[in-house]
Amino acid sequence: EEQGHEGLEGRLDEAEAIVEAIRKAEAEAPAGGGGARSAAMLGAEADRAVRAVMELMREGAAMLDAEGRVLHGPGRLGALRRRAPRDLMGQSFASFVHSRDAEKWQSAFGSQGRQAALGFMLEVLVSAGQSVPVHIAICPLGKGGDRIAFLVASELAWQEERMKQLERVTRELAQQKEDLEEVATTDSTTGAYTSGAALEVLQTEIAYGRRYGTPVSVLLMDIDHFKFLNDSYGHAFGDTILKEFCDRCRAAIRATDYLVRYGGDEFVVILPQSGRSGAQAVGERILDSVRAAPLGQDTRGVPVTISVGVATAQAGEEVPAGVLLKRADQALYEVKQRGRDGLAHWDGKSLTDHGRG
C-alpha cells in the first residue's frame, strides 16, 4: 500500500512537471518558422502529459485521433470492454457504441469535432448483445488543426457492480467480525459465555444496578468430583455431562440471565435485578434439576451432584465484579466443607481465598 502511494505521488509529480514544461514551451514558442518546431515539441509534451494524467484517473479513459481511433487507453477502458487495453489500440471508438446511439456519438465527436461535448450518455457494447450505459465527456486537445480528443468514460453499470461488491465485502467482513466475537466469547463445548466475558458483563450489570437501584446476584457452581468422572468414564463423557448440565441451567434461568463457563467444570450464572431470595430460588431449581435425573443418560447415565455459592450486590452497593465473585467463591467453599451437593449464600464474613475441596 505504501509503495502504491509512493508510485502515485511520483506520477503526480511527473504530470505536474510536464504541464509546467508545456506552459513554458507555449510562452517561449517564437513566431514564424521556428514556431513549427516548437509546436511539434509541444505536441509531444502534450501527449506525454495526457497519458500521465490518464494513468491517474479512476474512470475509463481513451485518447482518440482525429478519426476517432483509440491511440491510448489505460486498463479501466479495457475492463469496460472486457478486453485487454492493447486489443483496443487502433480501433474506432464508434465501433464500441450501440447502433441506436451512433448518431449521438457522431454528433458529439463529428468530422469537425473542435467543440467540447460534456456530460452525455451512450450505450457502449461490452460483448455480443450486451451494452452498458456510459457517461461521456470529450475535450479537444492540441493547437491549430490537431484533432486529438480526450474521452472519459465512467461506466454506471460498472460502478454499480463495484458498489454491490463493496457492500457484499462489507457484509462479509461484518459477519466475520460477528463470528470472531462469538468464538471469542462463547465456549465451543457448552455454548456458554467464556470466562473472559464474565467480569465485563458482571461489572456492567453492577453499574446498571447501582444507577437504577436494583440488586445483582451471581451463582458460582461446580460439578462435584468432576475429575473422577472424567478419569473414570473418559473426556467425551465428561463433555456430555458439561453440555447436559448447561442445558438444565438454561431451563432454570431467564433469557436475560447469563451462563458463563468460568473454568473446567466451574460455571457462573449472572442474575441482573435479582436479590438474595431470587438468586437462591434459581440455585435451588438448578440443584433440583440435576438431582432429578442422572446426567449423560444417552450414554451410561451417572448420578451427578453440584455445589452452588451465591452472592448478591444489594441495590446501590458499590462492589467490584471480582469482589462479588470472591464472595460467591467463599460461599461455594462452605458448601464443599459441608459435604457438597448443596447451596450457600455469602453471609458477609471475610473474603479469605479458599482452595477447592
Q: What is the pLDDT of residue 34?
A: 46
- Lowest-confidence segment of 30-39, 245-254, 310-319 by average pLDDT: 30-39
Q: What is the pLDDT of residue 282?
A: 96
187 pLDDT more than 80: yes
Q: What is the mean pLDDT of residues 80-93?
A: 73
Is the CB of residue 96 less than 8 Å from the CB of residue 81? yes
- Report in angstroms the alpha-carbon separations of 296 from 175, 268, 289: 35, 21, 13
Whole-angstrom distance, CA of residue 142 vs CA of residue 126: 30
Q: What is the pLDDT of residue 81?
A: 63
Q: What is the mean pLDDT of residues 86-101?
A: 82
Q: What is the DSSP letter of 267?
A: E
CB neighbours of 192 closer than 8 A, spacing ≥ 6?
A: 186, 246, 259, 260, 261, 267
**pLDDT band at 78; cut points 50, 70, 90:** low
The phi, psi pair for 296, rounded to 5°, reads 75, 35
Q: What is the mean pLDDT of residues 329-349?
A: 91
Q: Which amino acid is at 71?
A: L
Q: What is the pLDDT of residue 113?
A: 46
CB neighbours of 198 closer than 8 A, spacing ≥ 6?
A: 258, 260, 262, 268, 270, 321, 325
pTM: 0.51
60 pLDDT more than 70: no
Regarding predicted confidence, which is higher, 266 or 55? 266
Mean pLDDT of the chain: 76
229 pLDDT more than 50: yes
pLDDT tens column, 124-182: 777 666 777 777 777 666 554 344 455 555 555 556 666 777 787 778 777 776 666 66
Is the CB of residue 158 less than 8 Å from the CB of residue 80? yes
Highest-confidence range of 3-7, 91-95, 275-279, by mean pLDDT? 275-279
Regarding predicted confidence, which is higher, 350 or 283? 283
Q: What is the pLDDT of residue 47?
A: 66
Whole-angstrom distance, CA of residue 325 vs CA of residue 311: 7
Question: 130-147 b/e with 16+ CB inside 10 Å = b?
Answer: ebbbbbbbbeebbeeeeb
The phi, psi pair for 193, rounded to 5°, reads -65, 155
Q: What is the DSSP letter of 194?
A: P
Whole-angstrom distance, CA of residue 152 vs CA of residue 137: 5
Whole-angstrom distance, CA of residue 142 vs CA of residue 49: 12
